[in-house]
Amino acid sequence: MTPSQVLASYGPAAGLAPVVTPFAGGEKDRPLAERLAAHPLIMAPMAGVSDGAYRLMARAGGADLAYSEMVSVAGLHYGERSWELVDPVDGEPDVAVQLFGSRPELFREGAERVVARLGARLALIDVNMACPVPKVTRKGEGSALMEDPGLAAAIVRACREGAPGVDVTVKIRRGRHMGREVAPEFARAMEDAGAAAVAVHGRFATQMYRGEADWGVLDRVADAVGIPVIASGDVTDHAAALRALDQTGATAVMVARGTYGNPWVFSGHEATASERVAAFACHVRLLEATGAHLKRARSLAGWYFKGMPDAARWRNAAMSCVEADEFLAVADEVRAHVC
């Protein structure tokens, strides 16, 4: 079965809706600001998580826009395997591609190649300036770029040169080091370089994911720029997403860990146990249909079954699974005991 056929066959039992092209009727080319304002809940880029199957689940759950995993521009330059992270899957109307690196010339080349490969299915190009992981930052990439706004601006300009007519956005943090907030002035520099929107995670990079995200930075950035600001950090459920929109100057909200086992976070649908088991089974079938590594379903089992009776038992059972049929057998067992 194709991914589209999987969703059509198994999505309804999971409370998932058909995936539709945004701004149907020839309106897909409306400005990004209008798209974000009309459909403000979007799925964040997540390394090792947001593959094609995951993006399709999010779109079926109500996300208007979903991002690829972060893709190395050096990887696009030197090898073909990175394209597995970029290519939309069957049934995916468009995808936001997030790139990372530190060399403007590779961003220019990467943007040009992404446009040539995806065409109309490219929603936008996002530059990762937020990743706090040391193996990324020690190369001057990710959140390390926030210490060099000149280089960061050159990267934005390079992406625009390589992808004329395509929106280029950035994802940043409050700053790199604890207590040194630079996000407002940094965002202004990215806007001056041509960025169409800025996503702001309300933690410093050195915090990693510890502590609470400061949503106050969203207002400070929104006051500093005229482009849309996208909230990120501690958006754990639908109610939190709505609070971020209501309480801050953000135009849209990017949901990351809040999507774990909950593709309905975008619509606010409260899934039943039966729908959660059906969603896990649908997700496994999507992994199989898209050619993804099925070991990813081990993490999915923990997320979808969280809070259910004997959740540890089902999670442990999934950890020994290898083939799709084995994961689906676990789903059948959960259904028989829980639903």
pLDDT in 10s for each residue of the chain, 339 residues: 999 999 999 999 999 999 876 654 334 456 899 999 999 999 999 999 999 999 999 999 999 999 999 999 999 998 877 899 999 999 999 999 999 999 999 999 999 999 999 999 999 999 999 999 999 999 999 999 999 999 999 999 999 999 999 999 999 999 999 989 999 999 999 999 999 999 999 999 999 899 999 999 999 999 999 999 999 999 999 999 999 999 999 999 999 999 999 999 999 999 999 999 999 999 999 999 999 999 999 999 999 999 999 999 999 999 999 999 999 999 999 999 988
Of 131, 159, 282, 321, which one is the catalytic site residue? 131
Catalytic residue check, 339: no
**CATH domain 18-266 topology:** TIM Barrel (3.20.20)
pTM of the predicted protein model:
0.95
How close are the terminal C-alpha atoms of the chain, in Å?
27
Please state the domain extents for the chain: 18-266, 273-338
Question: For position 237, what pLDDT does the model report?
Answer: 96
**pLDDT given at position 26:** 39
